[in-house]
């Protein structure tokens, strides 16, 4: 048993744990709104709130490096990429009935099952572990950077290539749509002139 477990009981939460719980509830609410709204732009903005809440959770766990990576990569890159994709492909800005595929119950079942498995794995892995908030920082830049660039270099680079491919694909789709509409407009112009004569 560690010193943190001996001096701190489960039913006497500290201020950090209360803040962690409150931020977690806000993050969960933002995630639910993200997947239930029928407006794509609003979904992207609520996704910013959800990913920002996860970054705050990392800060409360004293993992500052991971928190700022969360902000830079997910909030700064993925959401901006999503918004650029929506703008470049001329997706509907308002309410879109096509945003609902009709598989809500299947999606809810998969989400609940995934959450149950995740909670079970985390509880089973950290059943007797306590985070010592007064001890050495576990998520420091040195420790996280060594783990990232020694063991996770290939997935890190693959993610950057994936983001670049998604942005290039959105640009290509928007150019094809723009060129098609210009050619249609040019072909329709002489027909109007002949009809007027």
Domains of the chain: 3-151 (1.20.120.1200)
Residue 94 CA from chain centroid, whole number: 21
Look at residue 154 and give its three-state secondary structure: helix
Tens digits of per-residue pLDDT, 91-107? 666 666 666 667 778 88
pLDDT at 193 over 60: no
pLDDT at 108 over 60: yes
* pLDDT grade for 4, boundaries at 50, 70 and 90: very low
Tens digits of per-residue pLDDT, 135-178? 556 666 777 777 777 877 888 788 778 878 877 877 777 776 55
Q: What is the pLDDT of residue 137?
A: 61
Q: 95-115: b or e for each residue (b if 16 or more CB lie within 10 Å)?
A: eeeeeeeeeeeeeeeeeeeee
- Contact (Cβ atoms closer than 8 angstroms) between residue 97 and residue 60: no
pLDDT at 64 over 90: no
Q: What is the pLDDT of residue 188?
A: 46
Query: φ, ψ for residue 39 (rounded to 5)?
Result: -105, 120
Average pLDDT over residues 41-57: 90
- Distance from C-alpha of 88 to C-alpha of 170, rounded to nearest angstrom: 6
Tens digits of per-residue pLDDT, 74-89? 888 777 777 777 777 6
Q: What is the pLDDT of residue 53?
A: 94
Q: Measuring CA to CA, how many Å separate 4 from each of 110, 132, 133?
A: 36, 6, 8
Q: Where are the alpha helices (DSSP H) in 61-130?
A: 64-69, 79-88, 104-125
Q: What is the pLDDT of residue 112?
A: 92
pLDDT at 116 over 90: yes
Residue 118 CA from chain centroid, whole number: 17
Specify the higher pLDDT residue, 68 or 134. 68
Tens digits of per-residue pLDDT, 14-31? 888 899 999 999 999 999
Q: What is the pLDDT of residue 36?
A: 84
* pLDDT grade for 3, boundaries at 50, 70 and 90: very low
Rg (alpha carbons) of the chain, rounded to whole number: 24
Specify the higher pLDDT residue, 70 or 103. 70
- Contact (Cβ atoms closer than 8 angstroms) between residue 135 and residue 50: no
Q: Where are the alpha helices (DSSP H) in the chain?
A: 3-7, 15-36, 40-60, 64-69, 79-88, 104-125, 141-151, 153-196
- Distance from C-alpha of 142 to C-alpha of 65, rounded to nearest angstrom: 9
């Amino acid at each position: 048993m560690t010193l943190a477990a001996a001096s701190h009981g489960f039913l006497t939460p500290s201020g950090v744990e209360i803040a962690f719980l409150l931020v977690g509830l806000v993050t969960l609410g933002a995630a639910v709104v993200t997947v239930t709204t029928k407006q794509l732009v609003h979904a992207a903005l609520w996704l910013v709130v959800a990913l920002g809440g996860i970054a705050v959770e990392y800060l409360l766990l004293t993992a500052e490096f991971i928190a700022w990576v969360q902000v830079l990569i997910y909030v700064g890159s993925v959401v901006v990429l999503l918004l650029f994709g929506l703008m470049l492909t001329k997706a509907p800005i308002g309410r879109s009935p096509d945003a609902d595929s009709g598989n809500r119950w299947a999606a809810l079942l998969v989400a609940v099952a995934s959450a149950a498995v995740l909670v079970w794995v985390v509880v089973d892995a950290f059943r007797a572990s306590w985070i010592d908030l007064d001890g050495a920082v576990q998520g420091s830049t040195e420790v996280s950077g060594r783990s990232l660039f020694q063991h996770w270099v290939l997935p890190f680079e693959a993610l950057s290539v994936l983001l670049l491919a998604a942005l290039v694909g959105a640009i290509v789709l928007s150019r094809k749509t723009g060129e098609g509409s210009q050619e249609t407009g040019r072909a329709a112009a002489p027909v109007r002139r002949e009809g007027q004569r």
